[in-house]
């Protein structure tokens, strides 16, 4: 097979793939139309201005968990299999999520501002994660990795999935989206780990934000479009919610004039939680690529195959 590889892997990591498949021809170079026109497999995220609808392209192996841009009609040939990199980002995003839960609960942002002013301060208050009820909306790889780490805090862990599924042992409770409104009412922390799709757009709006406890904490590490930003600002300005941590927003970069910057109960980071630079991401991704190329050679189903109609993976496998 002719395999075009173009992503941020180091030379050493790429060499591991090359050595595993000595009979395949690898093109380690830039995305060009000429390279795409002859590739049987592409590893990476080719820009959409290229003509990707190619009958010879068997598989597109993305290095991102998000795949919505490639699911649009006409972008890929109907026979091309699309696979995302789900599983690669769970560990780093879970670390970020737990870190932000602690930062918001213990008001680190407030104390950091005092430090900049060289003030000791005496503010008392905050929240504990211990024995709290944590609702994870979008219980895939990220949610699973979050749950594993939050077990150490003796939390009650509740997951929300799109479709009915067997409850993993790591969770105390598992529901479908039909139960979202009821579960928002009782959660102390709400973690959003949703992909971008028509069904998740503005899933969290003013009505649902107001269903949450007045002192609840909202963390979004999925897609910014899952939260109606204008509604979030209005709810926060009305004094609802203890705090919010956002690694993603509807508009990125977030304009300097946006009111979210001025709300001291909000912690913002510029979509850095799931960077491909983290070692855990690269290690998992390498093994995923090797497994999928092997499956392709052996005519076996590939891992992380995306249903281009729904934008979701056809099957979720939790990493132990």
Closest listed residue to residue 313, CA positions, set 54, 139, 57: 139
Q: At residue 87, does pLDDT exceed 60?
A: yes
Contact by Cβ (8 Å): 155, 132: yes
Q: Pairing state of beta strands 59-61 and 81-83?
A: parallel
Q: What percent of the chain has pLDDT over 70?
A: 98
Question: CATH assignment of 90-268, given 1.10.357.10, 3.20.20.450, 3.40.50.720, 3.90.550.10?
Answer: 3.40.50.720
Query: Residue 10: pLDDT above 90?
Result: no
Q: What share of the chain is helix, strand, coil (3-state, %, to 5)?
A: 35, 15, 50
Residue 320 banded pLDDT, cuts 50, 70, 90: low
Question: Given strand 25-28, what is the order of strands in its sheet?
Answer: 25-28, 2-5, 41-43, 59-61, 81-83
> What is the SS3 assignment for 134?
strand
* Choice among 59-63, 186-190, 275-279 with the minimum mean pLDDT: 275-279
pLDDT single digits (tens) 257-281: 999 999 999 999 999 999 888 999 9
Tell me, yes or no, if the pTM score tops 0.75: yes
CATH 3.40.50.720 range(s) for the chain read 2-88+277-297, 90-268
> Above 70 in pLDDT, residue 317?
no
pLDDT at 313: 85
**Which tokens sit at 251?**
């508009």
Cα 87 to its chain centre, rounded Å, is 10
Q: How far is Cα of residue 178 from the mean position of the Cα atoms in its chain? A: 22
In this prediction, residue 229 carries a pLDDT of: 98
pLDDT grade, residue 8 (50/70/90)? confident
Cβ neighbours of 167 (radius 10 Å): 13
Mean pLDDT within 12-41? 96
Active-site amino acid positions: 223, 252, 271
Quote the pLDDT of residue 316: 65
121 or 120, which is more confident: 120
**d(Cα 21, Cα 112) in Å, to the nearest integer?**
51
Confidence category of residue 101, pLDDT binned at 50, 70, 90? very high
Eight-state DSSP code of residue 168: P
Cα–Cα distance between 279 and 274 in angstroms, integer?
Answer: 11
Q: Are 82 and 306 in contact (CB under 8 A)?
A: yes
DSSP 29: S
Return the exposure string of 190-219: e unless at least 16 CB atoms fall within 10 Å of the residue's CB, then b.
Answer: bbbbbbbbeebeebbebebbebbbeebbbb
Dihedral Cα 120, 126, 129, 135, nearest 10 deg: -130
pLDDT averaged over the chain? 95
Is the per-residue pLDDT at 20 higher than 70?
A: yes
> What is the Cα–Cα distance from 203 to 194, expressed in whole angstroms?
10
Task: Quote the CA–CA distance of 260 and 116 in Å, as a whole number.
Answer: 20
Q: Return the CATH number of 2-88+277-297, one of 1.10.3480.10, 3.40.50.720, 3.30.450.40, 3.20.20.140.
A: 3.40.50.720
Residue 165, SS3? coil
| Residue 208 contacts residue 231 (beta carbons within 8 Å) | no
Residue 187, burial from CB neighbour count under 10 angstroms (0-12, 13-18, 19+): buried
Nearest CA among 298, 297, 315 for reference residue 306:
315
Task: Note whether 306 and 314 are within 8 A (CB).
Answer: yes
């Amino acid at each position: 097979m002719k395999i075009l590889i173009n992503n941020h892997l180091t030379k050493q990591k790429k060499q591991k793939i090359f050595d595993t498949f000595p009979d395949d021809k690898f093109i380690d170079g830039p995305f060009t139309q000429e390279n795409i026109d002859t590739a049987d497999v592409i590893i990476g995220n080719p820009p959409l201005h290229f003509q990707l609808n190619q009958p010879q392209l068997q598989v597109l192996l993305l290095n991102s968990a998000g795949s919505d841009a490639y699911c649009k009609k006409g972008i890929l040939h109907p026979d091309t299999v699309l696979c995302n990199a789900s599983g690669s980002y769970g560990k780093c995003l879970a670390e970020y999520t737990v870190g932000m839960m602690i930062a918001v609960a213990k008001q680190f942002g407030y104390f950091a501002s005092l430090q900049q002013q060289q003030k000791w301060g005496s503010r008392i208050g905050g929240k504990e994660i211990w024995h709290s009820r944590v609702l994870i909306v979008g219980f895939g790889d990220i949610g699973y990795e979050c749950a594993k780490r939050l077990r150490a805090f003796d939390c009650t862990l509740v997951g929300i999935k799109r479709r009915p599924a067997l409850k993993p042992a790591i969770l105390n409770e598992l529901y479908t989206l039909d139960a979202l409104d009821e579960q928002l009412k009782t959660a102390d922390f709400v973690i959003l780990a949703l992909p971008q799709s028509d069904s998740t757009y503005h899933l969290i709006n003013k009505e649902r934000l107001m269903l949450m406890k007045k002192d609840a904490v909202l963390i979004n590490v999925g897609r910014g479009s899952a939260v109606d930003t204008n509604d979030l600002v209005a709810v926060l300005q009305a004094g609802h919610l203890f705090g919010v941590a956002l690694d993603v927003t509807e508009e990125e970069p977030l304009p300097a004039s946006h009111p979210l910057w001025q709300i001291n109960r909000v912690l913002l980071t510029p979509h850095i939680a799931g960077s491909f630079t983290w070692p855990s991401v690269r290690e998992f991704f390498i093994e995923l690529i090797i497994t999928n190329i092997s499956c392709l050679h052996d005519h076996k189903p590939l891992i992380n195959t995306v249903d281009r109609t729904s934008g979701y993976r056809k099957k979720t496998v939790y990493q132990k």
